[in-house]
Structure formats: C-alpha cells, structure tokens
A and B are shown apart, each in its own frame.
Chain A
Amino acid sequence: MKKIEAIIKPFKLNEVKEALNELDIRGMTVTEVKGFGRQKGHTEIYRGSEYTIDFLPKLKIETVLPDAQVEAAIEAIINAAKTGKIGDGKVFISTVDDARRIRTGEQGDSAV
C-alpha cells in the first residue's frame, strides 16, 4: 500500500481528478498549501511598495492506493498536471503500513 502526495498547480485539480477517476480511483484528499521550489515567487506592488511573494499557492492531493494501482496513478497525475513550465509541482510516494475503514472496520487494501 502506498501513499501518493502530489503538489500541483491549483488550476490543474480538475484534470488530475478526472484522470484518476478514469483509473477507477475514487478517493483523495485535497489541501490548499503554499510553498516554493525552483520556481521563484512574484512581486506585488501596492502604492509603490514592492513585496516579494516567495510562497505560491499550490494544491496538495493525497491518496492511498494498493501497490498494483500506484504506477498508473502516478503517470496519470503527471500527464494531467503537466504544463511544461516551471512550477508544475512534484509527486512523492511513500509506503503505508495499514489502513482501516472506520464505518466497517475493513482492513488493508480493501479499506482504501
């Protein structure tokens, strides 16, 4: 079982969600986050006072999947979120020990 955390450009959310739906992946958690990587921030000017905004708004998508689905999901996310410009984001994959569904008590792959 793996967890995929994808940091993407906010306007790409719908495309990523649809790409995952096509793989029959129906569950995910989305959080509004701010951060920066290689992409620099931008400058805002209010009455001549310039402010450099380092932390740019991004979305973090989290989803936990059985091992068999992981590679296809990563590929789908990358294809959907890609614009080719700097700041497209990153995908992190990590191992998850276990999962439980609260309503039924199901365990492991059947819980995610």
Chain B
Amino acid sequence: MTTSARIGCRLLSVCWLLVLIIGLGNTAVAAAQLEPAPTTNSVAPINSGDNAWLLASTALVLMMTAPGLVLFYGGLVRSKNVLSTMMHSLILMAVISTLWMVFGYSVAFGSGNAFFGNPLTHLFLKGVGGTPNPAYAATVPAESFMLFQMMFAIITPALISGAVAERVRFKAYLLFIVLWTTVVYLPLCHMMWGQGGLFNWAIGGKIPVLDFAGGTVVHISSGVSALVFALVIGKRSGFPREPMMPHNVVLSLIGAGLLWVGWFGFNAGSALNAGALATSAFAATHFSAAAAALSWTCAEWYLKGKPSVLGAASGMVAGLATITPASGFVSVPAAFGIGLVAGVVCYLAVTKLKAAFGYDDSLDVFGVHGVGSTVGMLMLGFLASAEVNPLIGTTFQKNGVVVSLAGGMHQFWNQLAGVGATVALAAIATFLILKLVDASVGLRVDQEDESAGLDLSQHGERAYNE
C-alpha cells in the first residue's frame, strides 16, 4: 500500500473517532438541557402483542445474518477462505450497527426530501425512544422500529459479499460497505419506505411502488451491486478452469434452514404489527419457499439428471428472496406461483446466464437475489390483491383521488419504475464507489495472498487446524 493511502486510512479512522466524540458530547448537552417531564403523562398507545412480535422478528432477522448467511456462504467457499467469508457477514453486525446509530437511521427514516432523510434529525438516535412514530408503526415504540430496520441494513451488504468472496481485500471491503450503505442503501430505503419518499405508496410518495419487505431495498440493490462488484474486481484466479467446489455443503444447508426460519421475521415482521397481515405475509413466505425448492429441484433433475441437495437449498433461498417484496400483498396460491417461477428462473440465471456471460459471481448473489426479487417485484404488479391487503385499495391518492394499487398493467409500470430506479442507483453508485476504493486501498489481494487463502493472508488464522 502506498504511503498516501495509508495516511488516507488513518485520516478516515480519526474522522470516525471525531464524529463519535462530537456525537456523544451532543447527547450529553441534550440531556443537560432536558426540560422537566410534563406532570400529566399521556400513556403511549403501545400494543404489547405488536411490540413482542416486532422484537422477536428483529432477532430473527439478525439470525439471518449470523449464523444464517455466515454458514450458508461459509460452506460454499473453499476451506482456505471460510473464515474470511464468514467475517464479511459477521463484521457488519458491528460496523453497520455503528453507522445506523450515528446517522443511518436518520438518513433512512428521518424527515427529509423524496430521496433521503436529514442525518441530523435522529443523529445518535436522538428522539428515537418509547413513543411510537405513527407514520411508520403506530403501536410500537419508535425504538423497536429502528432496531427492526437496522437488521435489514446489516444483512443487505452481507449479501453482496458473496459475489466477491475469496479475493477481496478486507480493508477495501470495509470501506466499500460503509460508503455503499451511505450512498445506496440509506437513500433507497428512504425512497421506498421513508415518509415522503419518492416511491412510498403509503405515506406521501409520488410513484406508488409496492415493496413489502425489501425486494428493491435489500435484494435487487444487493444483487445488482454484487454483479457490478464481481465484474469490477474480476474473476478468482483459475476461474472457471480450476475446480472451486463448496468445501462443506452441510454448513450451507444448516445456514439455508436458518435463513428460511429467519425470513418469517423479515417478511411477516414487516407487517409491523401482529395482526392478520403478519399471518398472511408469513403464509406467502412459506409457500413461496416451498414452491421454489420444488421447481429448482425439478428443473435440475430434468436438465442434469440428478436432484442435488444444494440445489434444493438454493431454490428455497430463491423463493424467499422472490416473495419478499410481494409477501404482504398476495394470496397463498399467488405466492406459490411466484415461488414456482422463481425456482426455475433463478436456476437458469445461475447456470445458463452466468455461463453465457462468464462473470464470477462466486456465490450467485445476482442470480438468486437480484434476478429473483426482480421477478417478484414485477409479478407483484399483476398479483397484488386488495383483498389480502385492503390498504392498497384505499391509501394512495393521485390528484386527490384514491387509486387502487391492486394488480394490473398500471401497477406493473409502477413496479417497473421502482425496479429501474433501484438498478440504476445500485449499478452507478457501486461502480463509482469501487473506483474510489480501488484507487485508495486496492480492491483485490495479490496473487500470492489469494492462493494462500484469505483466512491466512487477511486474518492470520485457519479454520481447520488438524
């Protein structure tokens, strides 16, 4: 690394420390200036059932990152890279949580314009406490909503890591995810789900895009960014000539099982209450995963002659990623249909599409999450049902008139706009961030470190000693 780059890194860490110190100082000042509590304390209308479900869901979504994704991805790489691959997910629980506390939540959900929230509104989670924020979730503490959303911000960049496993420099990866979360994730989250966000169908958006639990915000954004990252960083040395088999499919299967369970928190938790909508999202999630596992397995059995176990697990994950945007808007048969399509389309994406273009998306982030969720977003345009979710028949107003967002050609175009904007933002911003990171610290480890494995070269450890 050059001296200037080293100084750059030091400067960056110093800046972070300064931000932390200033922030803590502000909090202290704010505490000192607190006015005396009002004598007639109005009881916040918190529903303990809703809050219990949201907190449980929050924990479930964190479980998707670790140990869910940690095991799923860890098993798919070669044994010399298993720790580094696990670290790519694990470290986000620390880094993104910090970022979320400092300004992340505020940019995503603070008041602002159509594209991002004001980072100062909830700087250091100022004003995020036991009182509900009725714009987002009227019956739970704003702090519960903040925690739930944080887990989404953690898992999204973790998904991207699968595309660049086995060759990315750890320092570059850290720098990338901090910048990516700030420039891509937080604004996108605000646009889809934040109050007044451009695509928010429920509260004050201009273009009503339906995305129940993160088809665009989480899966398309990470899938497209993963593809761009894989293209910019280049193939693993030896790909596809040398065999690069998963070193432990058993780990991946345990991870996939945890992902399925955790996804109930992800999707059914996104109802933000413990009512009928949560149940319907739960059901849609489950039946889509089942259908996709079935259709991926059948497709592989038919085309390759054997139904692989990793294939069935990949189908499950594809079904879950695909139903994510649609989960709170479609009936069980529609969800099952979405899952059937997801299994086949994603199977073809990771086999035929990847082979045709020759990119090394090592753990198929684009093929499963990017392609799957795009399918889900677009099918949702036709399948969204006001019977399943009455709100979409009554909420969105255009020129003062309530318009139904239930399935049809009109909603399909809205969905397409949402997908298009997500793809454009993710692709362009990721490309620019990567150029910046490459120039400052270098994206990729050198040839020798790559062949020794990232566990040893980046972390000084080996997973299996004996």
Contacts and interface: CB of A to CB of B under 8 A. Distances in A.
A53 B245 CA distance: 11
B364 A47 contact: yes
Contacts of B98: none
Nearest to B351: A48
A57 to B, nearest CB: 15
| Interface of A (DSSP majority class) | strand
Interface string A18-56: 000000000000000000000000001111110101000
B245 A51 contact: yes
B243 interface: yes
A45 B243 contact: no
A47 B351 CA distance: 7
B57 to A, nearest CB: 30
A46 B351 contact: no
Contacts of B304: 45, 48
B206 to A, nearest CB: 40
A47 B355 CA distance: 11
Residue of A44, A45, A48 with most chain B CB atoms under a 10 A cut-off: A48
Contacts of A49: 240, 351
B314 interface: yes
Interface stretch (B27-35, B117-125, B126-134, B305-313): B305-313
Contacts of B310: 46-47
B293 to A, nearest CB: 14
Interface string B236-266: 0000100101100100000000000000000
A44 B245 contact: yes
B350 A47 contact: yes
Interface residues of B, number: 19
B347 A48 contact: yes
Given A45-B304, A45-B306, A51 B243 contact: yes
B245 A46 contact: yes
Residue of B243, B306, B352 with most chain A CB atoms under a 10 A cut-off: B243
A44 B310 CA distance: 12
Contacts of A47: 308, 310-311, 314, 350-351, 364
Residue of A44, A46, A47, A49 with most chain B CB atoms under a 10 A cut-off: A47
B99 to A, nearest CB: 32
Nearest to A51: B243
Nearest to B240: A49
Nearest to A47: B350
Interface in B212-248: 240, 243, 245-246
A46 B246 contact: yes
Contacts of A46: 245-246, 249, 308, 310
Interface string B425-444: 00000000000000000000
Interface string B290-308: 0000000000100010101
A53 B242 CA distance: 11
Nearest to B354: A48
A77 to B, nearest CB: 32
Contacts of A45: 300, 304, 306, 308
Contact of B350 (A48, A51, A53): A48
Interface of B: 240, 243, 245-246, 249, 300, 304, 306, 308, 310-311, 314, 347, 350-352, 354-355, 364
15 contacts: A45-B306, A45-B308, A46-B246, A46-B249, A47-B308, A47-B310, A47-B314, A47-B351, A47-B364, A48-B300, A48-B304, A48-B351, A48-B352, A51-B245, A53-B243
Given A45-B300, A45-B306, A47-B350, 6 more contacts: A46-B308, A47-B351, A48-B351, A48-B354, A49-B240, A51-B245
- Considering the complex of A and B, which 4 residue pairs feature the smallest CB-CB distances, nearest first? A48-B351, A51-B243, A47-B350, A45-B304
